[in-house]
């Protein structure tokens, strides 16, 4: 309450001044009275009183100053005092501030990413009103059917607006008619400006009647694509752009900001009137009316959905479906990435703890030499509380200095990691940066750190025994109990560093495993793309295809063209390429009983004979396809090793025949089966979309025997694949004018992209672990140096009594190593815990990863030995006579 009184005094300074004046005048009057009584003349009496008093104005100022200085200046005085103390020992100050900056920087960096990714409110006006309606099937989140959306929109009262963002992705068409990668979406008119509340930078949003068939060839584009692709053309509105090779008129450019970070470059309009059936699915996004709660909206939508379900007549399965109204938030991220980020935050938290332990240690060492100063102060009337507050102020001053540098460092780390290690194409709509929340977080952890490590010297000071300290003079007495606090802190530091190093070791091990996965093919210098027939005429009609023989002829011509492109060494066509997913196609083994209810399934693709050479796939048994396996010759098939293991375990696969539905010209005729002779077994190729999944059983037939119209192509190049893309596009344009190139990509990039998240985790984890190692080493070094300095006398005595220099060094090193080993031991237990946490994000690494644990423990041990040996070496340089004479 005293604080409030002082602060209040600040505002009524004049009143306080007047009161002080009155009091001082009273004092002078009382003195004058006494002087008069003692027999002085009135003038003399007053003069004496005034003289004794000194300058009353100055005194008044000082009385008033006692006031304000107690409130604020008291703190500033402590801060100034702390700064002076720091300037007096720059080595200590720089080490401590750097250690703190190293601890705080990574926290700021990781938190700024986490804040933007998971915690920040979405950057839209009143984003708390934005909701998503999810359809759930057996607990799994699904898109909502457009028909249901139309009913929700028509019947609900909870929403200002309800929009749908269709999952049907549209692609821009490049000038050479190939398809651009970035996909746009179809949305109901008003979604951007009215529901999301993002205004247009140019032009307008869709009109309410735009989006019906025949009136849906308009587009709004993001600011980013406007700049990057259309060179910020100020006249873009009204111009036509090609989407799926059809002209769409640009009606608006969305304001720069959040929509640039969603990865959706453009939108086209879509209107879904209730009662008109379409096969769209999508995200239903709405804005609640003010005052309507999520629960109310949920209740209303559930009622509508139950009514719809009874009309839909979904039958037995109805109970598997449900709907939920949820806050719109950034929860579309890969779980692994999400987990990685939180793990990283834990890791940097540990780094900060190590930094705190480090600084606490430095303060303890310094506190020993300040004991006398503190003893004198407390003897002169400073209370324990006052000394504690002063020491805490010093710690917090240190922390703030470290925090400022740490924030700058964190900004650098954040920018660097965002630039070098893109987590994903779009992690969050909120911008990653140093905003108010991040700064508050930084200030919070800085103060917390200051209080945390500030307790150490405070605790030390509170144990100060006054008369002992004053009696002893400056000589510090050795002995283990004097440094027990420091020993504990060093052990903690080493243990925490061990945990972090173990995490980094496991991340590294996992990444090494990922980099050495047997893909089954050589990704280097392979360029792939899929071909899609150019849409002709009205959409939705069943396409017709020429007979298979004709398709084969066209494919031969296409392949010849691709092979003729300069730089291309081999080319192949196939219905699917590795790492792009697989299907499950039913088959039967000839001569074995047919299981109609649960037939065996395998991935089924048709490939040209050159496929194996182009991808560098090895043969395990039998033979590859040959050019002479054609329509009319014996139908042949190849299977992979997994297929053999799973379905043909006890037979010679080369003697078996497989029964498959008849296929020709884009049709699969399940009524008729064809018999294929297995002629070869190839080495397993990763066909799923993740590097880490199991290999599926696979069956390949020759494309020359199938004549399938939809294909992808792959070319192996002798040069950098980027150099041949122009030639390849040209070859396709000539040989397959009816085809659009889709997803032209380097196979190596596809593989690398799979490892992006893991690389991000590994590099950052490794970097933070290195910081931890450094801090721990500095901590050990500091304690050892202090111990050597304190035990100079003892060492001198030992040496005078005949101890050899080497023995003395060994003695000192042993003391340090005991702490390091204890720390490593404790850290191993923590590492096991971390391993369990990290387990799901790692590949091929046990939660107790003995190999990497041993490796990092060894590294830590060696660093600890070095950090002990360097200061211990100094003890050998002690001159016994000198050391003893110091007494």
For another protein, the closer of residues 62 and 623 by Cβ is: 62
Site for another protein in 560-589 (CB under 8 A): none
For another protein, the closer of residues 22 and 154 by Cβ is: 22
Least separation in angstroms between residue 31's CB and another protein is 6
In the structure encoding, which two tokens stand for residue 829, read together?
Answer: 């237990």
Binding flag, residue 8, another protein (CB under 8 A): no
Binding flag, residue 84, another protein (CB under 8 A): yes
Binding flag, residue 669, another protein (CB under 8 A): no
In the structure encoding, which two tokens stand for residue 74, read together?
Answer: 């008291």
Binding flag, residue 27, another protein (CB under 8 A): yes
Contact status, residue 272 vs residue 168, Cβ threshold 8 Å: no
Nearest to 765 by CA among 827, 856, 696, 639: 856
Give the chain's length: 887
User: Which window, 19-27, 284-292, 504-512, 520-528, contacts another protein (CB under 8 A)?
Assistant: 19-27
Least separation in angstroms between residue 386's CB and another protein is 9
Straight-line distance from the first to the last Cα atom of the chain, in angstroms, rounded to the nearest whole number: 51
Task: Return the residue matching tokens 């294909």.
Answer: 711
Distance separating alpha carbons of residues 514 and 502, to the nearest angstrom: 18
Binding flag, residue 59, another protein (CB under 8 A): yes
Binding flag, residue 29, another protein (CB under 8 A): yes
Write the DSSP assignment of 288-326 as a string of letters: EPTT--HHHHHHHHHHHHHHHHHHHT-GGGGGGEEEEEE
Query: Using the rule CB under 8 A, which residue among 160, 378, 748, 756 binds another protein?
Result: 378
Least separation in angstroms between residue 756's CB and another protein is 55
- Burial class from Cβ neighbours inside 10 Å (0-12, 13-18, 19+) for residue 189 reads buried
Residue 81: how many other CB atoms lie within 10 Å: 14
Residue 2: how many other CB atoms lie within 10 Å: 8
Least separation in angstroms between residue 328's CB and another protein is 53
Binding flag, residue 89, another protein (CB under 8 A): no
Task: Return the residue matching tokens 């054609």.
Answer: 630
User: Which window, 50-58, 490-498, 641-649, 717-725, contacts another protein (CB under 8 A)?
Assistant: 50-58
User: Which window, 462-470, 594-602, 698-706, 758-766, contacts another protein (CB under 8 A)?
Assistant: 462-470
Least separation in angstroms between residue 446's CB and another protein is 26
Q: Are strands 657-664 and 144-145 parallel, antiparallel or unpaired?
A: unpaired
For another protein, the closer of residues 80 and 818 by Cβ is: 80
Task: Return the residue matching tokens 């005194």.
Answer: 59
Task: Return the residue matching tokens 């986490």.
Answer: 114
Binding flag, residue 1, another protein (CB under 8 A): yes
Binding-residue total with another protein (CB under 8 A): 45
Binding flag, residue 443, another protein (CB under 8 A): no
Binding flag, residue 383, another protein (CB under 8 A): yes
Contact status, residue 563 vs residue 571, Cβ threshold 8 Å: yes
Least separation in angstroms between residue 399's CB and another protein is 22
Distance separating alpha carbons of residues 859 and 259, to the nearest angstrom: 47
Nearest to 723 by CA among 531, 522, 525, 523: 525
For another protein, the closer of residues 388 and 624 by Cβ is: 388
Binding flag, residue 79, another protein (CB under 8 A): no
Distance separating alpha carbons of residues 67 and 834, to the nearest angstrom: 53
Binding flag, residue 366, another protein (CB under 8 A): no
Binding flag, residue 38, another protein (CB under 8 A): no
Distance separating alpha carbons of residues 354 and 860, to the nearest angstrom: 14
Which residues make beta-bridge pairs with 662? 669
- Burial class from Cβ neighbours inside 10 Å (0-12, 13-18, 19+) for residue 634 reads exposed
Nearest to 163 by CA among 198, 131, 145, 187: 187
Query: Using the rule CB under 8 A, which residue among 15, 62, 239, 814 binds another protein?
Result: 62
Query: Using the rule CB under 8 A, which residue among 295, 380, 597, 801 binds another protein?
Result: 380
Strands (E), 592-635: 601-607, 619-622
Binding flag, residue 15, another protein (CB under 8 A): no
- CA 853 from chain center: how many Å? 24
Contact status, residue 860 vs residue 776, Cβ threshold 8 Å: yes
Least separation in angstroms between residue 76's CB and another protein is 10
Query: Using the rule CB under 8 A, which residue among 368, 382, 821, 826 binds another protein?
Result: 382
For another protein, the closer of residues 26 and 169 by Cβ is: 26
Binding flag, residue 53, another protein (CB under 8 A): yes
User: Which window, 54-62, 297-305, 515-523, 610-618, contacts another protein (CB under 8 A)?
Assistant: 54-62
Contact status, residue 437 vs residue 120, Cβ threshold 8 Å: yes
User: Which window, 4-12, 313-321, 506-514, 822-830, contacts another protein (CB under 8 A)?
Assistant: 4-12
Least separation in angstroms between residue 68's CB and another protein is 10
Distance separating alpha carbons of residues 270 and 267, to the nearest angstrom: 9
Write the DSSP assignment of 770-797 as a string of letters: HHHHHHHHHHHHHHHHHHHHHTHHHHHH
Binding flag, residue 376, another protein (CB under 8 A): yes
Least separation in angstroms between residue 885's CB and another protein is 19
For another protein, the closer of residues 144 and 460 by Cβ is: 460
Write the DSSP assignment of 251-263 as a string of letters: EEEEPSSGGGGSS
Least separation in angstroms between residue 424's CB and another protein is 54
Task: Return the residue matching tokens 């780094």.
Answer: 351
Binding flag, residue 163, another protein (CB under 8 A): no
Least separation in angstroms between residue 25's CB and another protein is 9
Binding flag, residue 462, another protein (CB under 8 A): no
Q: Is residue 576 helix, strand or coil?
A: coil
Which residues fall within 8 angstroms of residue 482, CB to CB, at 6 or more apart?
A: 368, 476, 790
User: Which window, 14-22, 325-333, 530-538, 748-756, contacts another protein (CB under 8 A)?
Assistant: 14-22
Query: Using the rule CB under 8 A, which residue among 238, 315, 381, 537 binds another protein?
Result: 381
Q: State how far the alpha carbon of 79 is from the alpha carbons of 43, 82, 84, in Å.
A: 47, 5, 9
Sign of CA dihedral 618, 623, 627, 632: negative
Query: Using the rule CB under 8 A, which residue among 14, 38, 43, 54 binds another protein?
Result: 54
Distance separating alpha carbons of residues 10 and 21, to the nearest angstrom: 16
Binding flag, residue 13, another protein (CB under 8 A): no
Binding flag, residue 621, another protein (CB under 8 A): no
Binding flag, residue 230, another protein (CB under 8 A): no
Query: Using the rule CB under 8 A, which residue among 6, 534, 621, 657 binds another protein?
Result: 6
Distance separating alpha carbons of residues 128 and 278, to the nearest angstrom: 31
Binding flag, residue 375, another protein (CB under 8 A): yes
Greatest C-alpha distance within the chain: 144
Query: Using the rule CB under 8 A, which residue among 17, 46, 47, 77 binds another protein?
Result: 77
Q: Rounded to the nearest 10 degrees, what angle do helices 436-462 and 335-379 cross at?
A: 40
Distance separating alpha carbons of residues 63 and 798, to the nearest angstrom: 58
Least separation in angstroms between residue 469's CB and another protein is 8
For another protein, the closer of residues 33 and 524 by Cβ is: 33
Binding flag, residue 886, another protein (CB under 8 A): no
Binding flag, residue 51, another protein (CB under 8 A): no
Query: Using the rule CB under 8 A, which residue among 467, 544, 628, 650 binds another protein?
Result: 467
Distance separating alpha carbons of residues 47 and 749, to the nearest angstrom: 95
Binding flag, residue 87, another protein (CB under 8 A): no
Least separation in angstroms between residue 64's CB and another protein is 8
Contacts with another protein, residue ranges (CB under 8 A): 1-2, 5-6, 9, 19-20, 22-24, 26-27, 29-31, 33, 52-54, 58-59, 62-67, 70, 77, 80-81, 84, 375-383, 466-467, 470-471
């Amino acid at each position: 309450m005293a604080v409030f009184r002082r602060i209040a005094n600040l505002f009524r300074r004049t009143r306080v001044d007047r009161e002080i004046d009155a009091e001082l005048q009273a004092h002078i009057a009382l003195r004058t009275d006494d002087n008069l009584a003692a027999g002085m003349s009135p003038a003399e009496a007053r003069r004496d009183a005034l003289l004794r008093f000194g300058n009353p104005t100055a005194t008044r100022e000082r009385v008033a100053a006692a006031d304000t200085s107690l409130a604020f200046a008291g703190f500033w005085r402590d801060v100034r005092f702390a700064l002076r103390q720091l300037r007096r020992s720059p080595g200590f100050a720089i080490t401590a501030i750097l250690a703190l900056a190293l601890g705080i920087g990574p926290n700021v960096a990781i938190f700024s990413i986490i804040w933007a990714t998971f915690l920040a409110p979405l950057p839209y006006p009143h984003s708390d009103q934005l909701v998503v309606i999810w359809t759930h099937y057996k607990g799994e989140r699904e898109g909502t059917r457009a028909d249901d959306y139309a009913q929700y929109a028509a019947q609900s009262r909870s929403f200002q607006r309800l929009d749908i963002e269709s999952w049907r992705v549209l692609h821009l068409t490049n000038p050479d008619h190939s398809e651009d990668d970035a996909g746009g979406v179809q949305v109901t008119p008003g979604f951007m400006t009215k529901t999301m509340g993002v205004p247009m930078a140019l032009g307008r949003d869709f009109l309410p009647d735009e989006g019906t068939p025949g009136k849906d060839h308009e587009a709004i584009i993001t600011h980013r694509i406007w700049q990057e692709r259309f060179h910020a053309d100020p006249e873009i509105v009204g111009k036509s752009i090609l989407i799926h090779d059809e002209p769409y008129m640009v009606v608006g450019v969305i304001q720069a900001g959040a929509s640039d970070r969603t990865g959706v470059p453009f939108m086209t309009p879509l209107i879904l009137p209730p009662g008109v059936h379409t096969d769209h699915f999508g995200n239903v996004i709405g804005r609640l009316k003010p005052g309507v709660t999520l629960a109310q909206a949920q209740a209303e939508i559930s009622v509508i959905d139950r009514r719809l379900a009874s009309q839909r007549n979904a039958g037995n399965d109805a109970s598997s479906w449900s709907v939920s109204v949820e806050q719109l938030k950034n929860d579309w991220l890969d779980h692994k990435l999400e987990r990685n980020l939180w793990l990283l935050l834990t890791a940097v938290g540990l780094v900060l703890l190590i930094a705190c332990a480090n600084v606490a240690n430095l303060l303890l060492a310094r506190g020993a030499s300040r004991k006398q100063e503190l003893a004198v102060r407390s003897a002169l009337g400073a209370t324990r509380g006052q000394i504690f507050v002063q020491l805490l102020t010093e710690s917090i001053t240190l922390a703030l200095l470290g925090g400022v540098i740490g924030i700058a460092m964190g900004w650098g780390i954040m920018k660097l990691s965002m630039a070098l290690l893109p987590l994903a194409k779009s992690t969050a709509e909120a911008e990653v940066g140093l905003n108010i929340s991040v700064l508050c977080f930084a200030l919070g952890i800085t103060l917390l750190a200051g209080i945390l490590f500030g307790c150490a010297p405070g605790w030390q000071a509170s144990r100060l025994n006054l008369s002992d300290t004053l009696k002893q003079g400056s000589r510090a007495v050795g002995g283990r109990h004097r440094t027990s606090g420091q020993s504990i802190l060093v052990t903690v530091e080493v243990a925490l560093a061990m945990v972090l190093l173990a995490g980094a070791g496991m991340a590294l091990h996992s990444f090494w495993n990922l980099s050495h996965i047997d893909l089954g093919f050589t990704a280097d210098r392979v360029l792939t793309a899929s071909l899609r027939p150019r849409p002709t005429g009205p959409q939705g009609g069943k396409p017709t295809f020429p007979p298979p023989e004709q398709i084969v002829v066209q494919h031969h011509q296409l392949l010849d063209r691709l092979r003729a492109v300069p730089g291309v060494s081999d080319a192949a066509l196939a219905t699917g390429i590795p790492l792009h997913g697989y299907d499950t196609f039913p088959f039967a083994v000839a001569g074995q009983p047919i299981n109609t209810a649960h037939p065996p399934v395998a991935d089924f693709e048709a490939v040209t004979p050159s496929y194996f050479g182009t991808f560098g796939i090895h043969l395990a048994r039998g033979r590859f396809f040959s050019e002479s396996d054609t329509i009319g010759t014996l139908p042949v098939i190849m299977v992979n090793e997994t297929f053999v293991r799973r379905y043909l375990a006890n037979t010679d696969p080369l003697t078996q025949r497989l029964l498959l539905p008849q296929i020709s010209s884009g049709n699969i005729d399940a009524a008729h089966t064809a018999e294929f002779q297995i002629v070869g077994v190839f080495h397993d190729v990763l066909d799923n979309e993740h590097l880490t999944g199991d290999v599926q059983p696979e069956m390949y037939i020759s494309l020359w025997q199938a004549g399938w119209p939809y294909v992808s192509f792959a070319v192996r190049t002798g040069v950098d694949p980027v150099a041949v893309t122009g030639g390849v596009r040209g070859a396709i344009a000539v040989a397959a004018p009816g085809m659009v190139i889709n997803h032209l990509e380097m196979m190596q990039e596809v593989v690398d992209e799979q490892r992006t998240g893991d690389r991000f985790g590994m590099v950052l984890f490794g970097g933070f672990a290195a910081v931890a190692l450094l801090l721990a080493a500095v901590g050990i070094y500091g304690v050892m140096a202090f111990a050597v300095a304190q035990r100079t006398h003892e060492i001198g005595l030992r040496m005078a009594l005949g101890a050899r220099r080497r023995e003395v060094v060994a003695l000192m090193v042993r003391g340090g190593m005991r702490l390091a080993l204890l720390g490593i031991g404790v850290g191993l237990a923590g590492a096991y815990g971390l391993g369990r946490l990290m387990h799901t994000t790692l590949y091929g690494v046990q939660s107790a990863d003995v190999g990497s644990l041993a490796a990092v423990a060894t590294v830590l041990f060696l660093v600890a030995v070095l950090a002990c040996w360097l200061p211990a070496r100094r003890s050998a340089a002690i001159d016994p006579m000198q050391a003893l004479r110091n007494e």
